[in-house]
Structure 1
Amino acid sequence: MRVLFVTVPLASHVYPSVSLAHALQSAGHEVRLASKPGVEDLITGCGLHAVTVGIPADEDHLHEGQVPIDALALDPQDDESWRSVRRYLTPRIVSANFRAEDGRGRGGVVEDLVAYCRGWRPDLVLWDPAFPAAAIAARASGAEHGRLLWALDTVGHIRHRTREELGEGAALERDPLVAAMLPALERYGVDFGEDLLLGRWSLDPVPPGAQLPAPGHTYHPMRIVPYTGSAVEPEWLRTPPARPRVCLTYGASVRGYAPRFATVPLPVLMEAFAGMDIEVVATLNDEEIAEAGPIPANVRTVDYVPFTQLLPTCSAIVYQGGDGTFGCAAPQSLPQLINLSPKWGELAVAQYVESRGAGLVVDREGATAESVRDQLHRILTEPAFRKGAEEVCREITAMPTPHAVVPLLEELAKGPVRPSA
């Protein structure tokens, strides 16, 4: 069969597709990955065929700096946080998916995706939850389609709460995301259905204890097999560390602003590391190194090293709570110290890690170098944290691998395609 992945043009969104795409290719299926211009080399570097649609991402007004970071943080324990997330998420999705031609002869995303799907005729379209234009293209071309989640189902939760708020029988136009879709639906003769926002089903990498499912929607579990790029293994990684090795990272997608919005700034972290009997590997770029201040002797800074090389050699990880980094650290049974940079699902990750006894969250009120040092010392020396991390690892590794999910996708792609109610 032919399978089209459609994703946001960021490494942190492309990478979660890679293992499943390779599994499908290994099973003999044809695979393409579509995104906006600018990530073609990233996609082809992952061993996949790239398709470009729409206008470059730097022209669709989706820069992180345009909104307060904490306004995008969904807190499953806060019954009102979804409203704030909806307020900022909806115009971002609308801008990325439903802008018209730019006046210079370049088509919009929906137009390009429909044209490609009608030409290539995929049997299955797997799409990023922030890319509902792909669902319209799938429907317009008769393909089966579902979402490939990479984190908590924020979009599904917001749609569920919005429908509750609007009430049964509310006009479609009252949801601004649906209203933005309607011209494209009319143009291509597609009737509105919930599948255009949520997929006919979703592949869900979130462990059962951390999910936030939309009621009535079908979720198929799939374990994330981490892919974080490739590189020549550095020589220093070949020798086992003489002291406990700790990874400090802010992930791939939040570089440039996460250190400034984290609970504890980099200089305080460096002060906390100084004098500890540990080796820290900090994945920091030049800008972050400049912000960090004096680098202690026991801290090695590297701009990039694949987590699949680094984390198996570590005893713990300090990070901002990002879903992608969590998905890399958890299968290694690493105790975690989460220095929150609240955005998207970080709060949910932190709550899950703490609930499983797999780590600690830096106190957002009054954290100091000394308190961070004490927390890091605890997760390195108290056996309960390793035990909790091993439990998290067991929960994740019990989920089906991408290879195990391929037969399910083959069956789903055979079924009749109908609009969802």
Structure 2
Amino acid sequence: PLVDGLVGFCRRWRPDLVVWEPLTFAAPVAAESLGVPHVRFLWGLDLIGRARHHHLARRPPDAPRPDPLTDWMGHMARRSGTVFTERMTRGHLTLDPFPDPLALDPVPGVDRLPVRYIPYNGRAVSPGWLAGARSGRARVCLTLGATAVDRLHTGTGLDVNGLVRALAATGAEVVLALTPDQLDALRDPPEGVVAAGPTPLHTLLPTCDAVVHHGGVGTLCTAMVHGVPQLVLPQVIAPMYIYDEPVLAERLDRQGAGLTVRSAVLEGGELTGMLARLLEGREHREAARDLAAQALAMPGPGRTAHTLHHLTHTGV
């Protein structure tokens, strides 16, 4: 239904360009059926493009039938009046919001166009206490996305309370930008803990000295553009939801702008020590500022829009 509906809509509306996210393969089918250019917009590392490249590289040339993606997209393309090409899996261009230290190595055949990450949190009211005087202590944000609380209770060695106590043991002010369900699990928080609840990170993180999180792209990249050192706990994500978080965490760690907890079981003392290193070590702050400078130097949306406008006239 999505392919037929999208193709029909595009034929009525006649777009000059189709921008699609990496899992919506109906979009390039629709674009190719109209003969208009199409562009992938990455919301994470290009693991899909890399997996596609490795799959084709390992596939014997005399394989008896097309691979499943080629088979399915080829059928959809023929039904829509066009033919399948590999361009349908990668677009004319691929918009990539990651600066070079975090981006994956180039994938052959993928024309990567860097674009600056713009933090987005939707419409929100910034809490009044953010504009107030600081306590004089370092400020640390804790955010765990929307899927981590069950994982904390079932497999990582610490529940929310243990995690909060470990972070507060550094003496920092710990701001809990958690969901209501996660806050409901909190019992007797230590002194210096602020149960803020859902808070727009683009307003909170510029006031923080560090952020502790699960490795989600939105949190990681918002911290990145604001130059905030990061402590990443990818193991708190339920396995069924893991995508690129461990890979991103490792690349951030390698660049020096953050630290990654690699052990499957979280230990309070280890977390306290790692957070203390982020707060006290100048090298992590400098690396985070350097990464922010590289991210902010990437072409902004206006410049990217100019490139895409050119693409609609040239098709290349």
Write the letter of the residue equivalent to 1:157: R
2:248 to 349, 371, 391: 349
TM-aligned CA deviation for residue 263 of structure 1: 7.6
CA distance in 1, matches of 2:158, 2:215: 13
Do residues 120 (structure 1) and 13 (structure 2) align? Answer: yes
Listed one character per residue, the Cα deviations across residues 309-349 of structure 1 (whole Å, up to 9, x for unaligned) are: 11111110000111111110011111111111362111221
Match of 1:179 in 2: 71
Do residues 328 (structure 1) and 222 (structure 2) align? Answer: yes
Write the letter of the residue equivalent to 1:250: L
TM-aligned CA deviation for residue 365 of structure 1: 4.9
2:204 to 310, 324, 328: 310
Match of 1:384 in 2: 283
C-alpha spacing 1:256/1:389, structure 2 compared with 1 (3 Å): same
Match of 2:139 in 1: 245
Three-state SS of the structure 2 residue aligned to 1:410 is: helix
- Bigger mean CA offset, 191-200 vs 266-275: 266-275
Three-state SS of the structure 2 residue aligned to 1:297 is: coil
Do residues 403 (structure 1) and 302 (structure 2) align? Answer: yes
Aligned-residue CA RMSD (Å)? 2.1
CA distance in 2, matches of 1:263, 1:410: 51
C-alpha spacing 1:326/1:113, structure 2 compared with 1 (3 Å): same
Match of 1:301 in 2: 195
Aligned residues between the structures? 308
CA distance in 1, matches of 2:68, 2:187: 45
TM-aligned CA deviation for residue 184 of structure 1: 1.6
CA distance in 1, matches of 2:64, 2:189: 58
Any conservation in 2 of the 1:172–1:178 contact (CA below 8 Å)? no
Match of 1:196 in 2: 88
Three-state SS of the structure 1 residue aligned to 2:243 is: coil
C-alpha spacing 1:223/1:296, structure 2 compared with 1 (3 Å): same
TM-aligned CA deviation for residue 292 of structure 1: 4.2
Do residues 133 (structure 1) and 8 (structure 2) align? Answer: no
Three-state SS of the structure 2 residue aligned to 1:334 is: coil
Any conservation in 2 of the 1:262–1:339 contact (CA below 8 Å)? no
Do residues 362 (structure 1) and 261 (structure 2) align? Answer: yes
Three-state SS of the structure 2 residue aligned to 1:160 is: helix
- Bigger mean CA offset, 260-269 vs 176-185: 260-269
Write the letter of the residue equivalent to 1:125: V
Any conservation in 2 of the 1:258–1:320 contact (CA below 8 Å)? no
Match of 1:3 in 2: none
TM-score, length of structure 1 as denominator length: 0.69
Write the letter of the residue equivalent to 1:133: A
2:122 to 222, 226, 229: 229
Match of 2:3 in 1: 110
Match of 1:94 in 2: none
CA distance in 2, matches of 1:164, 1:238: 54
Do residues 166 (structure 1) and 65 (structure 2) align? Answer: no
Match of 2:162 in 1: 268
CA distance in 2, matches of 1:180, 1:271: 51
C-alpha spacing 1:328/1:125, structure 2 compared with 1 (3 Å): same
C-alpha spacing 1:115/1:240, structure 2 compared with 1 (3 Å): farther
C-alpha spacing 1:238/1:262, structure 2 compared with 1 (3 Å): farther
Three-state SS of the structure 1 residue aligned to 2:171 is: coil
Match of 1:393 in 2: 292
Any conservation in 2 of the 1:335–1:358 contact (CA below 8 Å)? yes
TM-aligned CA deviation for residue 367 of structure 1: 3.7
C-alpha spacing 1:226/1:171, structure 2 compared with 1 (3 Å): farther
C-alpha spacing 1:172/1:268, structure 2 compared with 1 (3 Å): farther
Any conservation in 2 of the 1:263–1:364 contact (CA below 8 Å)? no
TM-aligned CA deviation for residue 134 of structure 1: 0.6
TM-aligned CA deviation for residue 178 of structure 1: 2.4
Is there any run of 5+ residues in structure 2 with no aligned partner, and where? none
Three-state SS of the structure 2 residue aligned to 1:136 is: helix
Match of 1:375 in 2: 274
Any conservation in 1 of the 2:97–2:114 contact (CA below 8 Å)? yes
